[in-house]
Structure 1
Amino acid sequence: MTPGVGSGLQRAQSFMVLATLLYRASHLTVGLLALARSRPGHPVQYAGLAAALGLSVLVYGTALRRGWFDRWHIRADVLVSGCALPFALWAWGGVQDPASMGWAMLLGGSASAAAAVALERFQVPAAIALLVLTHLIGYRLVGAGPAVLAGHVNSLVFSAAMAWVFWWYLRRQGRLLDEANARALAAEAHKARYAERLEHHRALHDTVLATLTTLAAGGLDANAPQVRERCGREAAYLRRLIQQTADEVHHREIGAALEEAIGSVESLQLRVTARYHDLPQVPPEVAAAFADAAREALNNVRRHAGTGHAYLTAAGESQEGGGAVVTVVDRGPGFDPERYVPGLGLRGSVHRRMAEVGGRATVDTAPGEGVRVELRWPG
């Protein structure tokens, strides 16, 4: 699974890339100092160091940019910097003693460390064995003694072992951190859903239950226009509540703001069918802009559409940043947008309100096709 941005696993990867980069930088520095002391150096030695430097830039530059190593780059580094370079220096670079070969051999240690954390599990022993074998042969070619051979093999093996242990520990801690964060987010979501249910329970108690209790006690005339209007609003609220599934519970800010806008126009004899799906958390000013723009769009339906019914949908957008889209639709006669000059309501309460918070509003209509107003944030 690809780690998310800022996740514990990604941080562990970034640390290992930086740690192995510093390890390689120390070995390249030793090579630069060694060649600087051996003037005039052989051109092949400078070419070898330049090749190792260029390959290091490719390996670690790509890793820093992408967040982790490219395995093909690691394999190339093992073969070129770790294995081929010592033989090239011995064959064409005039290196005939262990001291002159030492800086090139050091690169094998940083190559083994990167291989231990980046390659697949079964490939790591093969890479380490190849480095050990080639370095033993290379040191024997320049007459290194048993102590040098043993020390260098120890360095190769334990560079890989320590890097793997560090990577295993950091990866484990990163995953534990991600799991803890996931549990915390789930707990917050559960808490928000519980608070949402409590809010609905209070609203039901104060509206539907109060109305039914009063009607049952005979304190109201059920046929009175005001009572019928109130029952209609509360039935619409119950309908929207039932239609919401557990995954579609809206966040309080935008959902409550839209419900308030719908309630205000329903009191003016406009019936609204509303549906919500996966609404994101938005800033309060954005929720207010959505509500005010939707209220004006619904008022336009009541005033101009010649119909007593409007449809409102609100949904989150699957994009980074938690965007949202609210649409208001009617099945009225529509109009010709080429011949219609937007009034103050559309210009000020719809388009301008959305623009002020970084959103936008669009109106789609044609004669006989009704009107569709879309509110989108971010725009």
Structure 2
Amino acid sequence: MKVEELVRRSLHQMAESDAHPDPGLAGRVLRTRRRRRVTGISGAVASVAAVVAVAVAVPLAVPGSGGEGSAATSEQDVIGRPGESPPRGLIAAGDVALSAYHTRETEVLPGGDLIDGSKWRLYDPATGRYEETDWAWIDVAPGMRTAAVLEKDLPADRIGLLDLATGEVERWIPLDGEGVGSVEFSPDGERLLATAYGHNPDRRFKDASYWMNEDKVPGAKRSRTGFYVADVASGDAAYTALPYADDPDHGVQGMSGREDLSWSDDGELIWEHWAFEPGRLYYDLSGEKAERPAREKHVSYAEAGLSPNGRLVGGEFAGKGDEIASEVLDSRTGERVAKVPGQQLLAWADDERLIAWGCDPGVCQKNEFRNRLVLIGLDGEQVIPLSGARAGNDGDARRWIPEFTER
């Protein structure tokens, strides 16, 4: 098999799953990281046996528990739904909450193309539940009062600001020119970064088909044109051209149709995932290449990224043999300071606790996709389940992907 096919297959598979990757380049390319805000991919424990130390408080009456058969568990500032997958009632820990999640939604088009998009569920504070929506894209602002939404049939020509209390779009931010396929609040919630595309980045084309396992499936075509930065208060949006980055050294193109841009941790720069070293490409807001910020030097593909105080980095899978564990690094030196019993580190609940994909002893060794949300302390001695185990394997439409937001 050619290297182009291997990388394309790995990227496609990783874009549809949150399982821990195998060592190597292609397997380490994940979906665009959502900020720590967090918007948030993909402790001292020497073995999976530490996961046995699961601690969940006696079930308490929590608003929005989702019905009599869906009691929440709560321990101080933690709200877990260990019996729910996907969750129906609110999940939260420390400074963050599960604000939304999405599942895969595939639409077959005439002629053999398809739209490999997402079905979004958004937390509704009025019902205390995650409610199904018709939006093509959702990003929730810090504080969980407003969401930026895009309408179906991407790329969208406007961004909606949705009031979570009423469920209504308060106003629209029109985009003059290029349509967008994603939108993301800045870490302070005052600006929006929207990635522009020439066509729907979730569209897969029959004439770009490739082999995945034993099947030939429609493939992506790259079409990113640039980005908008919009001021939330005024609605003013400025467009900057920034096409997808070519890779003359490796010659691999068309690996993914979605090449969304994200904010740096301080909101001063933007960045995109890069399949090869150095792993990320940074730009200033005029679209010019920029140096990687020193505080983000050791941030990798793991979605958790920097801790709130900037001293630690949620690292990648570090298990050996049957061990399920990920490492936590010193953000200044890159040295490992802890190893925690998590399959993938997703978000920081605070400076000392992480939300991760994890699983009970023996489960992920038999099926790595049977993971669930857990809360882990840096000492690795306590693991609190936050959700039930996900169903299905890689690419299954039932597999839900969480989005975390500072609450």
TM-score normalised by L of structure 2 = 0.20
Higher relative CO (Cα under 8 Å, sequence separation at least 6) belongs to: 2
TM-score normalised by L of structure 1 = 0.21
Higher strand share: 2
Higher helix share: 1
Bigger radius of gyration, 1 or 2? 1
